[in-house]
Amino acid sequence: MNDGRPSALAAADALGARLRATRTEPAANPQLEALALAVTADQPVLLWGEPGIGKSAGMQQLADALGTGLETVIASVHEPSDFAGLPIVGDDPATTGVPMAPPDWAVRLARTGHGLLFLDELSSAPPAVQAALLRVVLERRVGSLVLPEGVRVVAAANPPAGAADGWHLSPPLANRFVHLDWTHDPRTVARGMAGTWPVTALPAVDPARTPGAVARARGAVSGFLTARPGLVHHMPNEAEARGRAWPSPRTWEMALRLLATGYAAGSSGEALAAALAGAVGEGAGLELIAYLENLDLPDPDRVLADPDAFALPDRGDRQLAFLIAVVAAVQAEPTRPRWEAGWAVLAKAVDAGVPDVAARAAADLAAMRDLDWPVPSGIDAFVELLQLSGALPGGG
């Protein structure tokens, strides 16, 4: 052979090339879509699954679909200093300090400006390594290097019982991830062995939907937590459960970002449900999903464009979420016409006999007033309440 390989190996390589030549076909894949949704929303993701079921292959498929690079780091074979950085003493450490040098994979990501950082075998990393990973996951900082905003973090773990030298994840580290269960479909594997693998269209944020999506998400999550304050923070008692998803102010912020991104990207309900439950835990996630299914909030920007054309929802929880969404939409673009339209919407709560539902929204709306804007007539019903809260001076 011209390349110097033995003929037997060349023939084997040619056979291997034939096996790698496969085709793809469009197919829905909610777990890959949920992963893509979390990555798009810039939320760290942790894939849970047994060895050999395609977590790494799914990451490569996602990186290829996003047109970005993939840096794989096996967390279990690294020391804490590989993530915290190695001290490098300069000429005058008393003046310049001692910088912590980052590893080569972090430098490559920083130089490129974007990419997927894939931390594999996370549950096999000892507690000291997990502690060093906290800043990498939350702050995107590796030693003295801050990773660019275009870098997304995804990790993979085997259940501790199925991992070599497995450890439960520490609660601080676990609470920084969206947890997704990664499973396999036997029919998909069987079809893949025949030479055809599925490819899934990934969610893409529509800029035109973004303002309304953010306002709707704020109204939904704030309204839900107002109705269920006990779910704002609840760390499980069992070590295994503390190493998975559970509700905290941090993970509710993650859920808010996921929901807004899902609304703006038109994500499927199944993918969005998996992502939300992966952020705040199965129990709180299921309650939130049930709440969202019955919420059906109108687009707040359309409401502000013509407030007289919309009727206030009947249920108290929907009323609160709706009014919070309207105020959030005004805050995103605080012009005088939109601010006055906001008061027209709040006045509907007064007309419906439920001014208490609009009380918090009224205080927030009053705080946005430009001093040059006249006080609208719709504020009259809230003057006493706003004076008591300090949002308006005495005398109206």
**The two structure tokens encoding residue 246:** 């559970």
Query: What pLDDT digit, counting tens, does each position of 325-357 carry?
Result: 999 999 989 999 999 999 888 888 888 877 777
Query: Which among 304, 321, 331, 305 is positioned nearest to 358, based on CA atoms?
Result: 321
Confidence of residue 249 (pLDDT cuts 50, 70, 90): very high
pLDDT average, residue stretch 254-259: 97
pLDDT-derived band at 160 (thresholds 50, 70, 90) equals low
Q: How confident is the model at residue 393 (pLDDT cuts 50, 70, 90)?
A: low
| Mean pLDDT, rounded, for 73-97 | 77
- Whether the CB-CB separation of 320 and 357 falls below 8 Å is answered with yes
Average of per-residue pLDDT across 63-78: 89
CA dist., res. 396 & res. 384, Å (int): 8
Q: List pLDDT tens digits, range 126-152.
A: 888 988 898 899 889 998 899 999 999
Predicted pLDDT of residue 4: 65
Question: pLDDT averaged over the chain?
Answer: 86
Categorize the per-residue pLDDT at 285 as very low, low, confident or very high, splitting at 50, 70 and 90: very high
Confidence of residue 96 (pLDDT cuts 50, 70, 90): low
For residue 333, give Cα distances in angstroms to 60, 215, 245, 297, 308: 39, 11, 34, 19, 20
* Cα distance between residue 269 and residue 304, in whole Å: 27
pLDDT band at 386 (very low <50, low <70, confident <90, very high): low
* Whole-angstrom distance, CA of residue 219 vs CA of residue 118: 33
Q: What is the pLDDT of residues 197-241, one digit of tens each?
A: 888 888 899 999 998 899 999 999 999 998 899 999 999 998 889
Overall average pLDDT of the 94-101 stretch: 70
pLDDT tens digits, residue range 12-63? Answer: 889 999 999 989 888 888 888 999 999 999 999 999 988 888 888 888 888 8
- Looking at residue 261, its pLDDT comes to 97
> What is the predicted pLDDT for the residue at 396?
43
- 374-384 confidence digits (pLDDT tens): 877 666 667 66
Instruction: Tell whether the model's pLDDT for residue 395 goes beyond 50.
Output: no
Q: What is the 3-state secondary structure (H, E, C) of the chain?
A: CCCCCCHHHHHHHHHHHHHHCCEEEECCCHHHHHHHHHHHCCCCEEEECCCCCCHHHHHHHHHHHHCCCEEEEEHHHCCCHHHHCEECCCCCHHHHCCCEECCHHHHHHHHHCEEEEEEECHHHCCHHHHHHHHHHHHHCEECCEECCCEEEEEEEECCHHHCCCCCCCCHHHHCCCEEEECCCCHHHHHHHHCCEEEECCCCCCCHHHHHHHHHHHHHHHHHHHHHCHHHCCCCCCCHHHHCCCCCCHHHHHHHHHHHHHHHHHCCCHHHHHHHHHHHHCHHHHHHHHHHHHCCCCCCHHHHHHCHHHCCCCCCHHHHHHHHHHHHHHHHHCCCHHHHHHHHHHHHHHHHCCCHHHHHHHHHHHHHCCCCCCCCCHHHHHHHHHHHHHCCCCCCC
Report the pLDDT value the prediction gives residue 351, as an integer from 0 to 100.
80
Q: Which residues pair with 154 in a beta bridge?
A: 45, 118
**Length reported for the chain:** 396
Q: Does the pLDDT at position 78 exceed 80?
A: yes
Mean pLDDT of the region 237-261:
94
Beta-carbon contacts of 222 under 8 Å, excluding residues fewer than 6 positions away, are 321, 324
d(CA 203, CA 205): 7
User: Is the per-residue pLDDT at 10 higher than 90?
Assistant: no
- Examine the pLDDT at 153 and tell me if it is beyond 90: yes
Report whether 240 contacts 213 (CB < 8 A). no
**Measured distance CA(249)–CA(231) in Å, rounded:** 9
Report the DSSP beta bridge partners of residue 47: 156, 180
Instruction: State yes or no: pLDDT of 388 exceeds 60.
Output: no
Q: What percent of the chain has pLDDT over 70?
A: 90
Helix crossing, 30-40 with 269-280: angle to 10°? 60
Give percent above pLDDT 90 in the chain.
41
Question: pLDDT tens digit string along 305-332?
Answer: 998 888 888 877 888 888 999 999 999 8
